[in-house]
Structure 1
Amino acid sequence: MLISDKTVAQLLVECLENEGVEYVFGLPGEENIRIVDALSGSSIRFILVRSEQGAAFMAEIYGRLTGKAGVCAATLGPGAINLLLGVADGHLNSAPLVAISAQAGVNRLHKESHQSLDLVSIFKPATKWADMLLTPASTTELIRKAFKQAQSERPGAVYLAIPEDIEAALAPANARPLEVNVVHDDAPSPSQVARASALLESAHNPVILAGHGAVRNQASEALVRFAEKLRIPVATTFMGKGVISDEHPNSLGVVGFMVRDYQNYAFEHSDVIITVGYDLLEFSPLRINPKADKQIIHIHRIPAEVDAHYPIAVGIEGHIPSALDALAAAVSRRYGIPAQDFAARRLRENEIEKGKRNDSFPVKPQRIVADIRAAMEAEDIVLADTGAVKMWMARLYP
């Protein structure tokens, strides 16, 4: 094999450029310094962080906002392990993320040695895919595979370990980044669209639940067209918030976290639930179908997960906007139940208005949410931590 004067670290950075990477978030260390040095001579900006955990969360948010894989980098051992919390969070949130860390040299992996851990086994349970680069010749294939895995539906986190001696090795002379191929969705099945149409024609009180998959697959406009044409109310999950404006007359707001939350009234009285891009990891379907007696039309790019409270009557897998448009064209009925007629919507609007005027002490969460909303523009971004604050923001921040 002909050898070039280019190192694996330099080839790896060329592959990152080929994938369209703009930023790498991370911390340098002795074992990954060649990659950091190669980044300094590339078009990619290295964002230095105070901890690897922060790097992973930054990469996750980049992936959430752009739909492109965010990249984080760390050294071996404890540096790599510090990435794990953000990587796992990104994976559970379906954020495309590529985590790259150094690893002990191949020449010492077989024995007990300084800061050498089985990092691939540590990361596997928290990622879609985890592997280690063991030969210079496989660099281009593994980088392309990492990004393909991270960005394909359902998106998530992947991990690649780079042994320090492989990073420093010379790359094959003919090694070039592989062509980026984009996976395109299938068109929705006409037979499944027809089955869903027949189910909706006989429905009395259908309701839509839009999830994170609708957001990341740019289904907002198609969802609004569908809801308006058929006059069906729409609730969203926490991560689906924003796919339809809370001000839209068909919007019910964010689904309640507890079974008896008032946002869930519409589901209690429905006979058919149309889920659009809903992933069961967002919250349990027990919240919207506690008796497992609703008929569910599942519209997503991927098949539904199995759950006793998520029995699928019809599944339409494929391009979500196309599926919504096809189903809207196939259904002749109009349900004529404006969302504002639901008690849930009135209760939510009343609580928002009451919160704006609440001057009591200690200050109430409703007032805090109202004041934040008043200070922010429509396109501004609010980051809400987990816990009760997440629920207040989801329910009362229009």
Structure 2
Amino acid sequence: MVSVAENIVKTLEERGIKYVFGIPGEENIRLVDAIHNSDKIRFILVRHEQGASFMAEVYGRLTGLPGVATATLGPGAINLLLGVADAFTTSTPMIAITAQGGLNRIYKESHQVIDLEAMFRPITKWAGTLYTAKASGEVLMKAYNNAVSGRPGPTYLAIPQDVEEEEVDTVTAPLPIPKEKSFPDQSLIAKATDIIAHAKHPILLAGTGVVREHAVSELRTLVKETHIPVATTFMGKGAVSDEDPYALGVVGFMVKDYENFAFDEADVLISVGYSFSEFDPKKINPNSDKTIIHFNSFGPETDSHFPITVNIISTLNESIKAIRKSLVARHFEEIVNF
């Protein structure tokens, strides 16, 4: 027999989680103890739950694995909201696990019991409550799978105190998740290549997706071999070296910031791993007149200032590699002067 808390930690271990950020409380102490007893996961004690949520978010952003944050019920759980909301807007994988009042009192007015699931639902890809001990492993796997599948984002799981205290006679063995790797449509690559090859002033915009998907090396090779100038969003900073001769720096929020002048002259905008939450496209395409080629691993939102001509949804490493090879085959290496 193992406790629900131990089963949850075992599932986290099987998924490769190495850190959990949070603060122990009376209602989540069994989970914290189980993490403490793990030889694969380190518990990172913070001074405030908000710090835990942001640490988990940044961990997810840098590694591509869900950052895990935990807190007690009531105000402890509420303090996680800001970091979870930020993870939602930046498409960052994250799992928030909090305590909740026991099932013996969750249905009525009780000390520090509020509807946490409803509170987290608008800022997560999935939010749920563990109502039965036997489902603990399966429910946590659902939280994990939702965090990393498709467009990454945060998930939330509430664990009632009395459920956490229960034991289960079997440990749920997590099923392996096939690594998602999709390849770009070659007809779209050919179309994008033709547009770029005939452009007068193409420009690259690298967003946070390049960093999140570890596509930095491929992007830098693309810039090196094609000589296309590249700017980054704030979240994509570091995707190219500031010392690169084709680096324009970080795109600014003000219309007349230095980097934005390059966008004023551009006729073709190639966005890679960019999402609207990072930067308002109106600032770089105020007249909605640029030809836009969009690369990402999930579909974009809709904006009148970001009319996409070619939309390539694929693993970024694969799509960047494909467009680079296609452009090089066309001998596209002219230095573009703005």
Same fold (TM over 0.5): yes
Q: Give the TM-score normalised by the residue count of structure 2.
A: 0.94
- Code of the aligned partner of 1:157: P
**Kept in 2: contact 1:185–1:301 (CA 8 A):** no
Q: For residue 40 of structure 1, report the CA deviation from its aligned partner.
A: 2.4
1:280 maps to 276
Higher helix share: 1
The equivalent of 1:380 in structure 2 is none
Residue 334 of structure 1 is matched in structure 2 by: 332
- Aligned-pair distance for 1:242? 0.8
* Worse-matched range after superposition: 41-50 or 264-273: 41-50
Q: Is the 8 A contact 2:22 2:49 kept in 1?
A: yes
Residue aligning to 1:161: 158
Cα distance between partner residues in 2 of 1:24 and 1:326: 37
- Asked whether 1:235 is paired with 2:231, we answer yes
1:111-260 alignment to 2 at 5 Å?
111-171=108-168, 173-260=169-256
5+ residue gaps, structure 2: none
2:28 to 14, 32, 41: 32
Q: Match for residue 59 of structure 1?
A: 56
Equivalent pair of 1:205/1:335 in contact (CA under 8 Å): no
Q: C-alpha deviations, 1:199-219, integer Å up to 9, x for none? A: 223221111101110111122
TM-score (norm 1): 0.81
C-alpha displacement of 1:102: 0.4
Give the total of aligned pairs: 335
CA distance, structure 1, for counterparts of residue 154 and residue 112 of structure 2: 23
Q: What SS is found at the alignment partner of 2:104?
A: helix
C-alpha spacing 1:264/1:333, structure 2 compared with 1 (3 Å)? farther
Higher RCO structure (Cα 8 Å, ≥6 apart): 2
Deviations 1:242-279 (A, max 9, x none): 11111111111111211221211111111110001111
Measured in 2, the distance between the counterparts of 1:59 and 1:231 equals: 36
* Shift in Å, 1:21: 1.8
Q: Secondary structure at the match of 1:329?
A: helix
In the alignment, is residue 95 of structure 1 matched against residue 92 of structure 2?
yes
Cα deviation for residue 335 of structure 1 reads 5.7
1:83 aligns with 2:66: no
Q: Counterpart amino acid of 2:73?
A: L
Deviation of 1:111 (Å): 1.4
Q: What is the one-letter code of the residue matched to 1:337?
A: I
2:202, 2:269 within 8 Å by CA — same for their partners in 1?
yes
Distance 1:325 1:21, change over 3 A: closer
* Residue type of the alignment partner of 2:34: A
Report the equivalent of 2:293: 297
Alignment of 1:110 onto 2:107: yes
Distance 1:29 1:143 in 2: 20
Deviates more, 1:182-191 or 1:239-248: 182-191
Q: Which amino acid aligns with 2:183?
A: A
What is the CA–CA distance in structure 2 between the aligned matches of 1:207 and 1:127, rounded to whole Å? 33
Q: Which SS does the other structure have where 1:327 is aligned?
A: helix
CA contact (8 A) 1:144 1:180 kept: no
Query: Quick one: distance in 1 between partners of 2:76 and 2:178?
Result: 32
Structure 1 unmatched ranges of 5 or more:
343-398
Q: Are 1:152 and 1:183, in contact at CA under 8 Å, matched by a contact in 2?
A: no
**Is the partner of 1:46 in helix, strand or coil?**
strand
Matched, 1:47 2:41: no
Higher CA-based Rg: 1
Secondary structure of 2:310's partner?
strand
Give the 3 Å change call, closer, same or farther, for CA 330–23 of structure 1 in structure 2.
Answer: closer
Give the letter for the 1:84 counterpart. L
SS at match of 2:28: helix
Shift of 1:129: 1.5
Amino acid at match of 1:80: A
Q: Secondary structure at the match of 1:9?
A: helix
- Cα contact 1:267–1:288 (8 A) shared by 2: yes
1:153 is displaced (CA, Å) by 4.3
| Match status 1:14 vs 2:10 | yes
Whether the aligned pair in 1 keeps the contact of 2:192 and 2:310 (CA below 8 Å) is: yes
Cα offset, 1:337, TM superposition: 3.0
1:312 maps onto 2:312 in alignment: no
CA distance in 2, matches of 1:45, 1:260: 46
1:263-296 deviations in Å (ceiling 9; x for gaps): 1111111111000111111011101101000010
